[in-house]
Chains A and B, each alone.
Chain A
Amino acid sequence: MAATVTQQPQKLVLLTGDSWGMLACLCTVLWHLPAVPALNRTGDPGPGPSIQKTYDLTRYLEHQLRSLAGTYLNYLGPPFNEPDFNPPRLGAETLPRATVNLDVWQNLSDKLRLTQNYEAYSHLLCYLRGLNRQAATAELRRSLAHFCTSLQGLLGSIAGVMAALGYPLPQPLPGTEPTWSPDPAHSDFLQKMDDFWLLKELQTWLWRSAKDFNRLKKKMQPPAAAVTLRLEAHGF
C-alpha cells in the first residue's frame, strides 16, 4: 500500500482561544506585507513572494479553522465534538479529497498541483457558505463568514500564483456549481456527519496546501539577494 502524502490528522483538534498563536499568525502575515515590495525593488521577483504569501495564509487559516471547528462541532453536539470520533466517510462523497498517493503527489506538475488546490478550495468555499446559511446562532454565522472571507483570500492568492506562473484558471462547467444544501434523503445525523467531514477535509486540505506551497516555494527559490526574512509561526 502506497504511503499518502497527507498524513491525515486523526482527529480535529478542538483547541480554542489560542490568542497568542493568533497574534503570531497575524504578525507573520503583516511581516510579509512590506516584504513584497522590498523584493520588487530588485526587479521582477517572480512568483516567489506570492507563493510565500499563500503559504503563510494557509498556515493562518489552519489556525483559524481550529477555533471555528471547535465551536461548530460543539454546536453539533456529541459525538461530533469528541476528540476520538472518527466516523466513516459516508455522505461526503462530493467533497474534494485531499489525500493522495505519495508518488502521485510528488510527480504532480506545478500546474496540476495549483489547479487541484484551486478547485478544492472553490468547492470547499461553496460548501462552507452553505453551512453558514444553515447555522442557527448569529455568533457562529459571524465566525463562518469571517472564515469564508479568509478562504476567499486564499483562493485569490492561489489564482495570483497561477497567473504569475502563466497557468490558466480552471473554469467550472456550467451548472455544476457545487452546493451544500441538505439532501432530503439524508437523515439529519448524516447531515451532521457531512458537516463534520467538510471541516475535516478542509483542515486536511490546508495542511496539504502548506506542503504544496512549501514545495513550490523551494522550487521557485529566487537568488539569495531576494530572500526575505520570514517568521515561522509554530505551535498551533
Chain B
Amino acid sequence: MGARSSGAESMEPRALLLTQKPEPMALFAFFQTILLLVSLSLRTCQSEVLSEPLPLTPESLDVSINSAQRCLHLQWRVHSLAYHQELKMVFQIEISRINTSNVIWVDYYSTTVKWNQVLHWSWESELPLECATHFVRIRSRVDDARVPEPRFWSNWSSWKEVNEQNSLGHKASSVFPVDKLVEEGSNVTICYISRSHQNNVSCYLDGVRMHVEQLDPNVSAFHVNNVAFVRETGTNIFCEMDPKDDAGTVLFVSKVLEEPKDFSCETQDFKTLHCTWDPGSDTSLVRKQPYQSYTLFESFSGEKRLCEHKNWCDWQIAQDSQEMYNFTLVAENYLRKRSVNILFNLTHRVRPMTPKVFFKNISATNATMTWRVHSTGNHRTLLCQIELHGEGKVIQQHNASIKVNGEYLLSELEPDTQYMARVHCGDANHFWKWSEWSGENFTTLEAAPSEAPDVWRDVKSELGNRTVTLFWKPLSKSHANGKIRFYNVIVENLDKPSELEPVPIPAPANHTKLALDQCSYRIHVRANNSVGTSPASVIVISGDPGNQVEEERVNVTADGFSLSWKPQSGDVTGYVVEWCDRPQDGSCDLQWENLGPNTTSTVISSDAFRPGVRYNFRIYGISTKRIAYLLEQKTGYSQELAPLVNPQVVMSNLTSHSFALSWKDYPTETQRSFIRGYHVYLKPKEGQCHPGFEKAALSDNSVCCKYKIDKPEQKTFVVENLQPESIYEFFVTPFTSVGEGPLDAFTKVTTPDEHSHLLIRIILPTVFCVVLIMIVCYLNSQWMKEKCYPDIPDPYKSSVLSLIKSKENPHLTIMSVKDCIPDAIEVINKPEGSKIQFSGTRNSLTETEITKPAYLYLLPAEKNYSGPGPCICFENFTYNQAASNSGSCGHVPVPPTAPSQRGLLTSLENLLKALEKNYMNSQGEIPAGETTLNYVSQLASPMSGDKDSLPTDPPVPALCSEYKTQMAIPLGLASPPLSENSSVSSVTLLDQGDHHH
C-alpha cells in the first residue's frame, strides 16, 4: 500500500527568482511581494477575527478507482490562489474503510501549487477495492517560507465515498480479486462478499482452509503471503458460508520471468546468425498468460525481430557486411521484462559447418581419411581435430590445418578391426567453437595370424595304444588378425619318418583326438585365416610313458591355488600347469597355463573353482625338444567343506571285553576336504570314559566319549576294556580341518558272556577229536576188528582138526561146550576207583603176579585128575577197568603163573564205555559202594592175536583152546568194599600150577 503524486514538483520558490532577477523586474517583484504579504496579513487578521476557514482549501476533490490495480486516484485544485501565484503547500489525506471513522491511511503530500493547477495523488490498496467502501478527505496548509508563522491547516474537505461493491451485480456473492495475475512470492489479500450476513465462513486456497477475518457482516478477508505457483490453470480460491452461498476465484500465480541465459549468436555461412539462449522457467498460465515472448533487437542497424521459438532465433545478415553486432534479447510477459545484451564481431563468431568424411586406401594397418568443409567465406584457415576410436575409446588424436579439404593418414592400426574416425573443425584465426563432429566407421583388412596357438595335450594309454587329445586356445583378436577359418594339425612320427600331411580342423573347434601307437610323435598346430597361416605350435608326445610323482597338497590363498615347484636345471624351456576345471562331474574341462623357464611358482584361479571339490594340478617341465615331463603333482581344495558322509563301519572280533571296528577309505573324488583322521564315539556305560577316550559333546548336546585317530590311513580300531553282557553304542566319523562328518545314528553292540568262549574252547576241540577218532576208527575198522575183537574160530571148521583127524587119530572129536562142567566160579566184586587209581592198578598188575590175589577159589571136584590127555580148559577171565584203561587192545603182561591167560583184550565198546565213565567220574564223584555189572567176555582165540606183540605169552599147546564162560555177576553178591590194593584183585588169575599140579 502506498501513495504517489504528480503535479508541482518542477515549481521553484518565487523568492529564489527574485534574487536571480534584480533589474528592472526586481522592482516590480518587490512590490508584488509586499502586496502579497499585506494581503496575507490582512486575511490572517480577518480569519482570526472572523474565525473563517482559510481560502487555500483543496476543492473539487475527485476520486477514481482502478480496480485491477487496486488504486484510488485523487485529484483536486486550490482555487484561492491568485493568478500566476505559486505557493508551497502540504496536503493531508485521510482514507477510511467501511465507515468514515475507520481511518486506515493518513498521508502527507507536499508540493508547490500553481494557480488553477490540478493536483494528483494515488493510493494503492492492499485490499481489493471491491471488498469495502472507502472514504477519502483532504486538507491543506501553506508551507512556504514566505508566509510567516503560525500556519494553520485548512478545513477538511467533505468525505468522498468510493464504493466498488456495486460491481457485484446480480450475483449473490463474490470473491475478489477476480482472475488476479501475480508473480510467485507476492502477497495477496482476498475478500469474500455476500449479499446476506455471513456465518461460518470457510475459505480454501487450493483446498487448504485459510484463516478468515470478517471485515463487516457481509465481507470477510484473508491474507496470503508469498504465494507459490501450483499449476498453470491457476490456484483456486473457494469460499462458502451459511446459508449456502458459494463463490470462488482463480489466483493466477506466474513463475518469475528469468533473464535469458547463455545467449550467443554465431554463423556458419555468413548469411544467417543463429542466436540461442536458455529461456529458463515457463511463465505461461492457461487462459491467462501466454508463454513469455522473446524479441531480438540489434542496435547498430536498429532492427528488431520477434522470435518464434522459445530458445533460438535466426537473424539474416545484411549484404553490406556489417561486422559489429550489438544484440539485445528481451524476454517479456504480462508482469515484467528481462533483457540481456551481447556485442560481437561477426568474424569472431564463425562456427564451421559439419565436415563430410570419406576413407580411402584401407589396408590391414593403415587408412587414409579425407574430409571437406563447405565454404565459410574467404577461404578461412580451419583447425581440425581428428579422433580415432577403437572399442569405444579414443586411441589416436591428431590435429590438421586445412582450407577446405583435409586428408590424414591413420597408421598403426590393427588388422581386421573396426574403427571410428571423426573430425571437427574450428576457425584457426579467431576460434569460436568447434563444428559438429562428423565421423565414419571403417574396418581394416585381415592379416596372417601373428602367433602360434597355445597347444596342450592329454594322453590316455589303453592296451598299448595312446589316445592323444590336443587342445588349443583360440588366438586373441590381436594375434588372430582376422577370422580364424581352420587349424592345421601335422603329426610327425619321430621313430619312423614318413610323409607329413596336414589335417585341417575347421574353427571354432578347440581340440582334436589322435590315436597314436607307442612311438614318439611331434605335432605341429597352425591357425589359418583367409590371408595366411600362423607360426606352428610344436608339442612332442614321447613314447616314454613318463614318471610317476608323489602327490602333494597345495596351499590355497585368497587369490587362488598357490603352486610352486622346484626349479629344473638344464634344458627346460618352460613349464605347464595343468588342471581340470570341473573334476566333479567327470567332464574335466582341461585347463593349462604356460609359464616361463624362470618361473617356479604361480597362482591358479578360476571362476569354475567350487568349494568342496578336490582339484589336482600337474606341473610339467617342457624340454627343448618340446617334450613334457611330469614334475610335480599337487592337490587341494579352494575351500574345504565338512564331510557329508561317514564311513561304513564293520564290527568284528566281538568278545566279552572288546570288539574291533574297521572301515574303508573314501574315494578321493567324493572327499570334500582332506581327512585328517577319525573320531570314534562311544557312549559310555556308566558315564566313565575308557582310557584313551575323552568326553565330548555332540551336536545334539549329548555327551559321549571320543577317541581321536590322528592317522587318516588307520581304518581299524579295537574298543577294549568292555564289560561282558553290556550294551555299547559306537559311531565313527572322519574329521577334517573344517569339522567332522554328520552326526549319524550310533550302532549298538552287546558284549557276550565271559564263559561262553571257554565252553567253546573246550567243547569244540573235544568234539573235533572225537569225530576225528571216529573217522580214524571207521577208516581202520578192519584193523580194529582184528585187533580188538577178532572172529571166534569155529573148531568144527578148523583145518587143524581135519589135519589131526586124518593123520593121527580118526576118532578125535570136538568137545561141546555144554559138555563141560565148570569147576570154578569166580565172583568179582567191582571195586570203586578213580581214574588216577587206574594207573596204580596197572602198576599193581605186575605186583599181583607175586602176591596172591584175594579171590575165591573153587577147586575142581576131581582133584586128581591130571594127565597129558587132551585137556581143554575153559577159564573165565574177567575184564577190569585197568585193562580197558590201557588205551587200546594192547597186551598186558601176563604172569607166567597164569599160562592160560592169553592177554587182556578189550573191545571198542568197552573202551568207549571207559572213556565215558572216565569223563563222568573225572571229579571222582562216583559214590562209594556203587556196584556195577562186569561183563565177562569171551576170550578171543590166541591165534587171532598178534603173535609178535605177545612175546611174554607162555607157550600154549596148539590144541588147547580156552573159553571162559561169560557171566553176569550181581554186584550185590560182591564182597565187602575192598581196599585199594584189593581192588586190583579184580583181575582174576588162575594159578595154573595149583590147578594142574
Tell whether, in the assembled complex, residue A188 and residue B231 are in contact, meaning their CB atoms are under 8 Å apart: no
CA distance A76 to B238 in the complex (A): 13
User: Contact flags (1/0) for B225-242 with A, using CB distance below 8 Å?
Assistant: 000001111111110000
B961 touches A (CB below 8 Å):
no
Given that A77-B206, A80-B236 are contacting pairs, would A189 and B248 also be in contact in the complex, using a CB cutoff of 8 Å? Answer: yes
Chain A residue at minimal CB-CB distance from B246? A87
Nearest Cβ on chain B to A191's Cβ, whole angstroms: 7
With the chains together, A188 CA to B237 CA distance in Å? Answer: 11
In the complex, what distance in Å separates the CA atom of A76 from the CA atom of B231?
A: 9
**Which residues on B sit within 8 Å (CB–CB) of A191?**
287
Choice from A75, A88, A189 contacting B250 with Cβ under 8 Å: A189
Interface residues of A in 176-220 (CB under 8 A from B): 182, 187-189, 191-193
Please state if A78 and B287 are interface contacts (CB–CB under 8 Å).
Answer: no
State whether the Cβ of A7 lies closer than 8 Å to any Cβ in chain B. no
Q: Is the CB of A136 within 8 A of B233?
A: yes
**In this complex, what residue of A is CB-closest to B205?**
A78
Q: Which residues of A contact B286 (CB under 8 A)?
A: 134, 136
A160 → chain B closest CB, angstroms: 38
- Complex CA gap A79/B205 in Å reads 9
Residue picked from A88, A187, A193, most chain B C-beta under 10 Å: A187
Check if B207 sits within 8 Å of A82, measured CB to CB. Answer: yes
A188: nearest chain-B partner, CB-CB: B250
Contact with B along A141-165 (1 / 0, CB 8 A): 0000000000000000000000000
Which residue of A has the minimal Cβ distance to B230? A77
Q: What count of chain B residues pass the 8 Å CB interface test?
A: 23
Return the chain B residue nearest A87 by Cβ: B246
**B206, B232, B238, B250: the one within 8 Å of A187 (CB):** B250
In angstroms, how far is the closest chain A Cβ from the Cβ of B713?
72
Residues of chain A within 8 A (CB-CB) of B175 are 189
Interface flags for B208-252 (1: CB within 8 Å of A; 0: not) read 000000000000000000000011111111100000001011101
CB distance from B141 to the nearest CB of A (A): 45
- Asked whether A77 and B232 contact (CB < 8 A) given A87-B246, A188-B287, the answer is no
Q: In this complex, what residue of A is CB-closest to B174?
A: A187
Q: Using Cβ atoms and an 8 Å threshold, which residues of chain A touch B235?
A: 77
* Interchain CB contact under 8 A, B236 and A79: yes
Q: For the side of the interface on A, what is the size category? A: 10 to 19
Q: How far is the CB of B775 from chain A (nearest CB, A)?
A: 100
Task: Return chain A residues, CB-CB under 8 Å to B207.
Answer: 77-79, 82
- Interface positions, chain B 172-222, Cβ under 8 Å from A, are 175, 178-179, 204, 206-207
Q: Tell whether B374 is near chain A: CB-to-CB under 8 Å.
A: no
Residues of B contacting A88 in the complex (Cβ-Cβ under 8 angstroms): 246
Against B, the Cβ 8 Å flags (1 = close, 0 = not) of A56-91 are: 000000000000000000011111101000011000
B287 contacts A189, CB within 8 Å? no
Which residue on A lies nearest to B206, using beta carbons?
A78
Chain B window 739-757, contacts with chain A (Cβ cutoff 8 Å), 1 for yes, 0 for no: 0000000000000000000
User: Separation in Å of the B232 CB from the closest CB of chain A?
Assistant: 5
Chain B contacts of A79 at CB under 8 A? Answer: 204, 207, 236, 238, 248
Complex CA gap A81/B534 in Å reads 78
Inter-chain CA distance A79–B240, complex, in Å, is 12
For A193, the chain B residues whose CB sits under 8 A away are 248
Residue contact B233 to A192, C-beta cutoff 8 Å: yes
In the complex, the chain B residue whose C-beta lies closest to that of A189 is: B248
Cβ–Cβ < 8 Å partners of B232 in chain A: 136
A77-B236 in contact (CB<8A): yes
Contacts of B250 on A, CB cut-off 8 Å?
A: 187-189, 192
Min C-beta distance of B2 to chain A, whole Å: 27
CB-CB under 8 A from B287, the residues of chain A are 134, 182, 188, 191
B249:A187 contact, CB within 8 angstroms: yes
Among the interface residues A87, A189, A192, A193, which one has the most CB atoms of the partner chain B within 10 A?
Answer: A189
Nearest CB in chain A to that of B248: its residue: A189
* B288 partner residues in chain A, CB cutoff 8 A: 188
Asked if A78 meets B236 with Cβ closer than 8 Å, knowing A134-B287, A136-B286, A187-B179, the reply is yes
- Distance between Cα atoms of A88 and B238 in the complex (Å): 13
Say whether, besides A82-B207, A136-B286, A182-B287, A75 and B179 are in contact (CB < 8 Å).
Answer: no
* Bound CA span A191–B286, Å: 12
Which residue, A79, A88, A192, has most C-beta atoms of chain B within 10 A? A79
**Distance to closest chain A CB from B451 (angstroms):** 60
Closest residue on chain B to residue A190 by CB atoms: B248
- Interchain CA distance A188-B251 in the complex, whole Å: 9
Chain B's nearest CB lies how many Å from the CB of A75?
6
How far does the Cβ of A84 sit from chain B's closest Cβ, in whole Å?
12
Give 1 or 0 for each of B264-292: 1 = CB within 8 Å of chain A CB.
Answer: 00000000000000000000001110000
Which A residues lie within 8 Å of B230 (CB)?
77
Q: In whole angstroms, how far apart are the Cα atoms of A187 and B246 in the complex? A: 14
Please tell me which one of the listed residues B178, B233, B238 contacts residue A75 in the complex, with CB atoms under 8 A apart.
Answer: B233
Distance, CA A134 to CA B286, complexed state (A): 8
Taken together as a complex, chains A and B put the C-alpha atoms of A89 and B651 apart, in Å, by 102
A82–B240 alpha-carbon span in the complex (Å): 15
Query: Cβ of B179: which chain A residues have Cβ within 8 Å of it?
Result: 187-189
Which of chain B's residues have a CB closer than 8 A to the CB of A136? 232-233, 286
In the bound complex, residues from chain B placing their C-beta under 8 Å from that of A182 are 287
Chain B residues with CB under 8 Å of A134's CB are 286-287
Within the assembled complex, what's the spacing in Å between the Cα atoms of A79 and B250? Answer: 11
A74–chain B nearest beta-carbon distance, Å: 9
Cβ distance B979 to chain A, nearest Cβ, rounded Å: 128
Distance (whole angstroms) from the CB of A190 to the closest CB of chain B: 8
List B513-547 residues whose CB lies under 8 Å from chain A: none
Residues A77 and B233 in contact in the complex (CB < 8 Å), given A134-B287, A188-B179, A189-B249:
yes
- Tell me the bound Cα distance from A182 to B287 in angstroms: 9
Distance in Å from the Cβ of A118 to the closest Cβ of chain B? 31
**C-alpha spacing A200/B553, complex, angstroms:** 85
Q: What's the Cα separation between A75 and B231 when bound, in Å?
A: 8
Contact residues of B between 5 and 22, Cβ < 8 Å to A: none
Chain A residue contacts of B237, Cβ below 8 A: 189
Chain B residues with CB below 8 A from A87, complex form: 246
Query: A79-B204, A134-B286, A136-B286 known; A188 and B234 CB under 8 Å?
Result: yes
Known: A77-B231, A79-B204, A134-B287. A189 touches B246 (CB 8 A): no
A51 to chain B, nearest CB (A): 40
Please name all residues of chain A whose beta carbon is closer than 8 Å to the beta carbon of B233 when the two chains form the complex: 75-77, 136, 192
Within 8 A of A (CB), among B592-628: none
Task: Give the complex CA separation of A128 and B587 in angstroms.
Answer: 73
Residue in B207, B232, B236 whose Cβ sees the most chain A Cβ within 10 Å: B236
Residues of B within 8 A of A188 (CB): 178-179, 234, 249-250, 252, 287-288
- Cα-based distance from A192 to B232 in the complex (angstroms): 13
In the assembled complex, how far is the CB of residue B235 from the closest CB belonging to chain A, in whole angstroms?
7
What is the CB-to-nearest-CB distance from B550 to chain A, in angstroms, rounded to a whole number? Answer: 73
How distant is the Cα of A188 from the Cα of B204 in the complex, in angstroms?
Answer: 16
Nearest-CB residue, chain B, relative to A182 = B287
A187 to chain B, nearest CB (A): 5
CA distance A191 to B246 in the complex (A): 15
How many angstroms between the C-alpha atoms of A76 and B250 in the bound complex?
10
Within 8 A of B (CB), among A4-57: none
**How long is the Cα–Cα vector from A75 to B204 in the complex, in angstroms?**
17
Are A187 and B178 neighbours in the complex by a CB distance under 8 Å? yes
The residue of chain B having its C-beta at the shortest distance from the C-beta of A135 within the complex is: B286
Chain A residues positioned under 8 Å from B206 (CB to CB): 77-78
Apart from A182-B287, A192-B236, 16 more pairs, CB < 8 Å: A75-B231, A77-B206, A77-B231, A77-B236, A78-B236, A78-B238, A79-B207, A79-B236, A82-B207, A136-B232, A136-B286, A187-B179, A188-B178, A189-B237, A189-B249, A192-B233
A-B contact pairs, 14 of them (CB 8 A): A75-B231, A75-B233, A77-B236, A79-B236, A79-B248, A80-B236, A136-B286, A187-B178, A188-B178, A188-B179, A188-B288, A189-B179, A191-B287, A192-B236
Q: Which residues of A contact B (CB under 8 A)?
A: 75-80, 82, 87-88, 134, 136, 182, 187-189, 191-193
The 6 closest A-B pairs by CB, nearest first: A78-B207, A188-B250, A189-B248, A136-B286, A188-B179, A187-B178
